[in-house]
Amino acid sequence: MTINRAFIGRSYPPSAPYAVSREKIREFAEAIGDPNPVYRDAAIARALGHPDVVAPPTFVIVVTMKVAWQAVFDPDLGVDYTRAVHGQQQFSHTRPIRAGDHLVGTLTIADITSAGRNEVLRTRVDVATTAGEPVCSAVSTLVVRGGDR
C-alpha cells in the first residue's frame, strides 16, 4: 500500500494545548528510571537557571506522538499502522520544556518516499507555547514495511 504523495508539504491545524505539569514530568522521569532532582524539585531547577522543573530531552514525544497520530490515522494518507515501525527521531530544542508550559503542536508532512518495498513517512511537529514562543521541533520517520500482498 502506497502512502498518498499528495500530502507532502501539507500541514494540519494546531493541536489543542497540552498543559505540562510538574507531576507529569516526574512521572516521565520515573518511567525512564532517572532520579535527577531537576525533574522534581523546582528549587534545584532554579539553581540551574530554569524557572521551574524541566523535562527530559525526549519528554516532548508525549505531546508530539499524539499530534502525529492525526496523519498516521488519516485514512486519506494511507498509512498501514500495523506494519509501521519507528525509523528515526530527531529533536531540536529552542529551550527546555518546563512545568507550566502550555504547548501546541503543528504537524507537517515533511516527506514521503520509497525504500525498496517499504514506504517511509517523515513528519515534523513544531511545538510552541500558546503565546507563540517556539520550544521544539520533532522530526519522526515511520517506516511502513512492504507487505506480501
- Work out how close the CB of 66 gets to another protein at its nearest, in angstroms, rounded to a whole number: 7
The one among 2, 11, 21, 88 contacting another protein by CB under 8 A? 88
Considering only residues 65 to 84 of the shown chain, the ones binding another protein according to CB under 8 A are 65-66, 82
Query: What CA–CA distance (Å, rounded) separates 66 from 48?
Result: 31
Helices (H) and strands (E) in the chain, counts: 3, 5
| Interface pattern 114-133 for another protein (x via CB under 8 A) | --------------------
* Residue 118 contacts residue 143 (beta carbons within 8 Å): yes
In the block, cell 537557571 appears at 49
Residue 36 CB, nearest distance to another protein (Å)? 7
Rg of the chain, C-alpha, whole Å:
17
Per DSSP, the residues of 87-140 read EEEEEEESS--BTT-EEEEEEEEEEEEEETTEEEEEEEEEEEETT--EEEEEEE
Identify the residue among 31, 116, 131, 148 touching another protein (CB under 8 A).
31
Least separation in angstroms between CB 101 and another protein: 13
57 is an interface residue for another protein by CB under 8 A: yes
**Per rule CB under 8 A, is residue 1 in the interface with another protein?**
no
Does the footprint of another protein cover residue 54 (CB under 8 A)?
yes
Among 27, 73, 134, 147, binds another protein (CB under 8 A): 27
Counting beta carbons within 10 angstroms of the beta carbon of residue 90, is it exposed (0 to 12), middle (13 to 18) or buried (19 or more)?
A: exposed
**Interface with another protein (CB under 8 A):** 27-28, 30-34, 36, 38-39, 47-50, 54-58, 61-62, 65-66, 82, 85-93, 95-96, 139
